[in-house]
Each structure stands twice: as C-alpha cells, then as structure tokens.
Amino acid sequence: MSKSLDRLTLLETFVRIVEAGSVSAAARDLGLSQPSASRQLAELEARFKSQLVVRTTHDLSLTPTGAELLTDVRQLLDQWEALQEKYLNTEGEVRGQLKIVAPVALGQQCLTESALGFQQHYPQVALSWQLQDGNIRFAEAGCDCWFKIGPVTDSTLVVDSLGTVERLAVATPKLLAAVPTSPRELETLPWISLVPFEGDRIPLSHPSGQSVTLSPAIRLATNNIFALKQAVLAGAGAAILPKWFIQNALQTGELIDILPEWRAPSLTVNVAYRRGRHQPLRLRRFIEWVTADISSLFDE
C-alpha cells in the first residue's frame, strides 16, 4: 500500500469514477491515464480494506459499503471545498463545475435562459446542463442540484420550494363547439394526458372550495409535454397544462383557458441539493440566481 497518494485525491477520484460510470471516463475527466485512475481506486479500497466498486466489463456498480461511503465522502469533500473558498483569497470568485438536472420542459422553456445568464455572469463556472424527466438517483448521478416538479422523496436531500405552478384545462377554439360553463361539460371532449401527472381522472377545483373529478375518455397519453402540447394545438383534444408552459399560446388565442374559474391541483416546483452544511459558493449563487430569475413565473 503506497503512502503518499493524497487522501483527498483518492476520494475525489472515487467520486468521479462513480459519477462517470467508468474508470476510463473518470480518468479522461481528471486528466489522468486510465491505469492511474484504476490504481487510485484500488488504493482506496486497500486503505479501507473493503471493496467499494464492482467492476464488470461494461458496467460498474457500487457495493453497499461503497454507496454509503460515497455520501459521506461527498460531505467531506464539500467541507474541504468550503475551506478552500473561505481561506483561499479568491475574493468571492465563483468557479468550478456545476451539474444541474432539470425536467426537460422546465429546463428547455424557463431555466435555460436563466442558466445562460448565470453562465455569462460567472464565466468561470462550467455548467453541465442535464434535462431529464423522472426521478434520478441523485447520489450516484453526481449532480449538484436537481430541479423537480412535485415532491422530492429522497431524505438525503434538502428541498427548497420555488413556487407553485397553476394548471388549467386548455383546448383549441375549434375543438370547443360551444364554450363550456361547467366542468361536467368537459367530460364529453376528447382528452390528452401527461402520464406522470394525470391518469384518467382529472380533479378540478373552484376558488369557492367546490371540486369535481372528471373521468373523460383519454384519447392520447404521453410522457412528453411537448408532444402533448403539439397534439392539443392540432386539435386532438383538451388537456391539463401548466400555465407557464402555454402562456404564449393563450395570449395569441391558439389555446383557450376553457374554464377560467377552475384549476387542476397545482404542483410545487422544487430545487433539491445535497444535505450538508457546506454548499460550494457557486451552487449557492446558482440557486439564488435561478430563484430570483424565475420566481416571477410561479405563484408564491
């Protein structure tokens, strides 16, 4: 067992290997030769006297010990980085890597602009901008910050709410022979649903407190909100869509807010990040930036 390989480097390499999903990829990221990275991992395992990563030929997975170690190591490295930022007189310089995961629609439509502004303001930060729906395995993904619509269940994360999205029933003017005045009339329309959020039952509520649940015929179900929007615009049916997503179409008159008094349950937009007292400065700045930028889009 060698002696003087920097212990923190070993940990960083370990984290990178898990994040990259392979030793070779991590080596490229780190500017090392592949054998070096491999050796460092082996060395770490030797020091901890236990296997951390199972290397199969084309895949790589964590042992239970490795998974647990990973989260603890991240905390330690965060703390080291906090030390750096605090004492290395960089005068509040913001730099480093930042990996963000966000839902496709949200990222594409709202966040990207904000992120580009951030990028321009802090050119030393390398942003990795991953748009992807559904749950992610935060711990292994190696992302710094995850935007999500709806609740986040992972208790190892800290979750801040950015606001709530108003969701409403829309359709093209054409589809609506007569503009309905009560929710029940909507049940006769063809309907399109977004799978993670709606099934075949559509709850609606009125400011008065009144609420109904529609069970319309679902003509199309998709997990892609753009496909859904396209279908709605083509007149294929009515759908529940978040207000921020179709605001333009409402203004141009392409889509109509069918029942302005009725709303589907609103969803919370959350931003989640790793627990631990020491967030890197660039992450704090990023979250502040985006929060300020987009909070006007959502209801408080």
Nearer to DNA, 18 or 94 (CB): 18
Using a 10 angstrom Cβ sphere, with 0-12 exposed, 13-18 middle and 19 or more buried, the burial of residue 187 is: middle
Choose among 5, 80, 61, 69: nearest CA to 36: 5
How many binding residues for DNA (CB under 7 A)?
24
Nearer to DNA, 20 or 238 (CB): 20
Applying the rule CB under 7 A, the residues between 186 and 245 that interact with DNA are: none
Nearer to DNA, 27 or 239 (CB): 27
Rama region for 92: left / alpha / beta (φ>0; ψ in -120 to 50; rest): left
Applying the rule CB under 7 A, the residues between 56 and 75 that interact with DNA are: 56-58, 60
Taking CB under 8 A as the binding criterion, the range among 17-25, 72-80, 131-139, 187-195 that sits at the site for a copy of itself is 72-80
Residues contacting residue 60 through CB under 8 Å, at least 6 positions apart:
17, 18, 21, 22, 23, 53, 54
Which of 18, 26, 37, 73 touches a copy of itself (CB under 8 A)? 73
Contact of 214 with 202, CB cutoff 8 Å:
yes
Binding-site string for a copy of itself from residue 81 to residue 110, where x marks contact by CB under 8 A and - marks none = -xx--xxxx---------------------
First to last CA, the chain: 56
Report how far residue 43's alpha carbon sits from residue 36's, in angstroms, rounded to the nearest whole number: 10
Nearer to a copy of itself, 82 or 104 (CB): 82
Secondary structure tally for the chain: helices H, strands E: 10, 13
Binding site for DNA (CB under 7 A): 2-5, 22-25, 31-36, 38-42, 55-58, 60
Q: Which residues bind a copy of itself (CB under 8 A)?
A: 4-9, 47-50, 65, 68-69, 72-73, 75-76, 79-80, 82-83, 86-89
